Structure 1
């Protein structure tokens, strides 16, 4: 499998919304919150093309990732893989790429995941630690490798 990334632009917004909705639909239905318009509006309200990249596998777009760099951490804002491409190791490869960036900068990586979604197990399996929760989301952090022995908090 050859994984690469491609930049996004403003005109890709609707394609990204479709990917997000298809990737989240099952989890949102499980918690009684599937509303395509809300999912669309929520994504578009913070969409920044310079922070978002298509995930390309063997030349085909299979999802997207969006990260934000802050002075004291990196936030994984979005990581979506289309349903037909899930459970093939793509998300793990994307995380490995982000981990390298976080480790090089010695910054923790944060992420939020919808309560009761499969992504919770995914993030925990990849070294994230639960830090908090809200009504609908659970929040996680991954401490960079060179800082694992230091107190994260």
Structure 2
């Protein structure tokens, strides 16, 4: 039986480390695991395609892995884009979701963007709970297509 790790305390530090080139496959697996429920909900879960989406635009220097209490919890990728920044990936493993970790990562990204005076752009899978999450963090919908909704958060 799978057992979730203990809930990290709200004061447990998130440790951010730059991704290394040899992290690719582990992070591709993490992405597939984190996206599974949302992709299954829309009938689009294909584990290999979920992994390939990360492989297709992998840039270790733009990727940060985060851990809590010594356990890898997720990662994000942030790159220059259209005079601002683009959050290409933000994934939290299911065992760590709904514990405030994603919000802590979003505050880190917002602080970095605000300090540089840059907007942050991102896209989220339509019908994913991540849409409400991003809106709670100040992102405003700019457009959408058949599968994704696109957002921007202006610098503050």
Structure 1 runs (4+) deviating above 3 angstroms are none
Runs of 5+ unmatched residues, structure 1: 146-153
Runs of 5+ unmatched residues, structure 2: 1-11
Shift of 1:4: 1.7
Task: Tell me which of 29, 33, 48 is aligned to 2:44.
Answer: 33
Shift of 1:37: 1.1
What's the counterpart of residue 74 of structure 1? Answer: 85
What's the counterpart of residue 86 of structure 1? Answer: 97
1:9-48 equivalence runs, <5 A: 9-48=20-59
Shift of 1:40: 1.4
Q: How many residues align?
A: 145
Shift of 1:59: 2.3
What's the counterpart of residue 111 of structure 1? Answer: 122
User: Is residue 136 of structure 2 the alignment partner of residue 125 of structure 1?
Assistant: yes
TM-score (norm 2): 0.90
Shift of 1:8: 1.2
| Aligned-pair Cα RMSD in Å | 1.0
d(CA) in 2 for partners of 1:34, 1:81: 17
d(CA) in 2 for partners of 1:97, 1:83: 21
What's the counterpart of residue 136 of structure 1? Answer: 147
